[in-house]
Amino acid sequence: MKRFLSIHAPKVVLTLVTTAVLSWSCSSVPITGRHQLSLVPESEMQQMSYAQYDSFMQANKLSHDQAATAMVKRVGTRIEHAVESYMSSHNMSDQLAGYKWEFNLVESKEVNAWCMPGGKVCVYTGILPITQDETGLAVVLGHEISHAVAHHGTERMSQGLLAQGLGTALSVAVAKEPQTTQQLWMTAFGVGAEVGVLLPYSRTQESEADHLGLIFMAMAGYDPQKAVPFWERMASQAGNGKPPEFLSDHPADQTRINDIKKEMPEAMKYYRPQSATNP
Ligand SMILES: [Zn+2]
């Protein structure tokens, strides 16, 4: 199941608008330094995110497994601290302004996990048999949290606004075109009250999240080399009937695994082993 954002605006107009917009609305991704389109202030993304997260959590059941829930919160918090420490040492703490980190484990057969803007994380119990232990979970959370830290949702939302000719502040767009902006949010995140399915990120965003995720998990004291067997386990799920949702958004192909191996020497420089509690 693949859904892509389709861009209908004529190319020339899009280019002109893009040029105008880029001159005042560009940000760059931590670690990779890639410049990205950013039309939507993070504070506005967070507001929408917090409302969606609350309604999602109300509509879904938290897991009763106390050990697994504690593990999700522990891994999440350790990665949160790694992110905060990286951003602080690179004078980028302002990029985390307004974050209200939260890590929850919901009861669901789906193999899935995501992080919305502002650090709102959800892990589905269905992914735990594949993560297997705390370090495996750190691979997933490092990756998902990196999507948020790298503002990938904001970038996708901005591209959507631009494609709709709404190259303006989100608050203005919401006032003028409430339905369109709600639809864009759904296209960017797909997280409504019932549906907790993140739409696929672009390949660039995916490999960026892998790259950042390796570094953050290493800084959090988890062996980044464990990312390779995790993605191999994910790949082996592909043949088991209906591939998990997480896999349809995250193709665990050889290119991904090879890229992760290439980034390993860099990630290992950040690795300070700590004891991981593997239930
Ligand atoms: Zn991803």
- What distance in Å separates the CA atoms of residue 32 and residue 205, rounded to the nearest whole number? 11
- 190, 153 Cβ separation under 8 angstroms: no
Distance 138 CA to ligand 1 centre (A): 14
CA distance 118 to 257: 28
Distance, CA 7 to ligand 1 centroid (Å)?
A: 21
- For ligand 1, the distance from its centroid to the CA atom of residue 167, given in whole angstroms, is 26
In tens digits, what is the pLDDT along the chain, a chain of 279 residues?
333 333 343 444 444 444 444 444 677 888 888 888 777 788 888 988 898 899 889 999 999 999 999 999 999 999 999 999 999 999 999 999 999 999 999 999 988 899 999 999 999 999 999 999 999 999 999 999 999 999 988 888 777 777 666 555 555 666 666 666 666 766 666 554 344 444 567 888 899 999 999 999 999 999 999 999 999 998 887 666 666 667 777 777 888 999 999 999 999 999 988 765 544
What is the 196 CA–ligand 1 centroid distance (Å)? 14
pLDDT at 195: 43
Q: How far apart are CA 107 and CA 5, in angstroms?
A: 30
Which residue type occupies 213? G
Distance 12 CA to ligand 1 centre (A): 31
C-alpha of residue 13 to centroid of ligand 1, in Å: 31
Q: Which of 144, 155, 245, 263 is catalytic?
A: 144
Output the CA 215–ligand 1 centroid distance in Å. Answer: 15
Q: Is 263 a catalytic residue?
A: no
Beta carbons within 8 Å of 42's beta carbon, 6+ residues apart: 95, 97, 98, 117, 118, 151, 154
